[in-house]
Amino acid sequence: MSVGTASPRGPHRESAALAFRGTAGSNDSVPARQRGKSAERGRRPRQLTAGRIGLYCFVAVAAVFFLLPAVVMVLTSLKTMPEIRSGSIFALPASLDLAAWAKAWSSACTGLDCEGIRVGFWNSVIITAPSTVFSIAAGALLGYALSFWRVKGADILFAVLLLGAFLPYQIFLYPMVRAFSMVGLYNTLLCIIIVHVVFGLPIMTLIFRNFYAGLPVELFNAARVDGGGFFRIFWNVMLPMSTPILIVAAILQITNIWNDFILGLVFAGRENLPMTVQLNNVVNSTYGEREYNLNMAATILTAAVPLLVYFVSGRWFVRGIAAGAVKG
């Protein structure tokens, strides 16, 4: 008895045989790992068209347009003041001089105090960390409740939250100042944290509600059948699937809170001024010669944390957006 290749049987044996040979041939010629990579990346274009060349030119011009100010800032911060006055802003520094960076961090004057912007850095860390955690936690819980626990008036509440997300927060400043002053919290660390949580709640609720609305409702129903309650389902079922959207929310909140100026200026108080306010004081507190290298170094140090967050977790941000952050 000879051992051969099994042939398909039945009324459709001819078409099945052709399909079998085609599948076998493709499997033998292309490894599975390579097929997966090619399917993931897509087919590479074989020729450059006029539209693709135009797209590349547009992307290159846009990149130069947005990167040019940053390049000028870095080059200026590494030069001495005589070199800045006598040379071009695009000229490379004669030698790497980090004196402006050291002075901006530790000894630049922000008004009457000359302790640099390091004080503002630690104030921004103390403000950003709890504000980000509490705003994300509140937004996730509220978005989960609005998606699966359809309480009476949920649509009205969501509409009010959306209205708060799109109204300019400058119109709320004076009423909030009066309210915090009456309860004795104005110009304190707790005050600025509460303010950031309140203003971050609408957009966080919108993001998490849209994400949870895209999850299968059968998961929630099965957890309810098994006896899960509100917090049990959220903690054991919903939260483990929320990693991409949690990273998106963290990036958005860290960036918004760290870069905030007006809320920190109004609500933080003199002892808790964030880094952006300290940067403004450094730039506007110069007596005599304006030290452009110092100002540029202080600006780059202030923007370093949001840039680092984007560089480290940028791919997670894209994944989270694709997973449903802007779907709805």
- The pLDDT assigned to 169 comes to 83
**Domain termination site, one of 62, 97, 132:** 97
Q: Residues 178, 291: contact at Cβ < 8 Å? A: no
Q: For residues 260 and 196, give the distance between their C-alpha atoms in angstroms, rounded to a whole number.
A: 9
Overall domain count for the chain: 2
Q: For residues 211 and 328, give the distance between their C-alpha atoms in angstroms, rounded to a whole number.
A: 8
- The pLDDT assigned to 301 comes to 94
Question: Domain check: are 56 and 123 in the same one?
Answer: no
* Selection from 23, 241, 41 nearest residue 140 by Cα: 241
Q: What is the pLDDT of residues 46-68, one digit of tens each?
A: 677 888 889 999 999 999 999 99
Question: Domain check: are 230 and 308 in the same one?
Answer: yes
Question: Domain check: are 299 and 162 in the same one?
Answer: yes
* Selection from 150, 131, 129 nearest residue 209 by Cα: 150
Q: Residues 257, 127: contact at Cβ < 8 Å? A: yes
Instruction: Please give the model's pTM, rounded to 2 decimal places.
Output: 0.78
Positions of the chain with pLDDT lower than 70, given as ranges:
1-46, 286-288, 314, 317-328
Residue 75, in any domain of the structure: yes
First-to-last alpha carbon distance for the chain, in angstroms, is: 64
Structural domain containing residue 81: 50-97
Question: Domain check: are 184 and 317 in the same one?
Answer: yes
DSSP labels for 307-322?
A: HHHHHHHHHHHHHHII
Domain harbouring 227, CATH code: 1.10.3720.10
Q: Residues 264, 127: contact at Cβ < 8 Å? A: yes
Q: What is the pLDDT of residues 163-195, one digit of tens each?
A: 877 888 888 899 999 999 999 999 999 999 999
Question: Domain check: are 91 and 123 in the same one?
Answer: no
Question: Domain check: are 213 and 82 in the same one?
Answer: no
Question: Domain check: are 88 and 215 in the same one?
Answer: no
Question: Domain check: are 208 and 312 in the same one?
Answer: yes
Determine the residue type at 148.
Answer: F
CA separation (Å) from 159 to 1, 143, 163, 164?
76, 13, 6, 9
| CA pseudo-torsion sign 139, 141, 147, 150 | negative
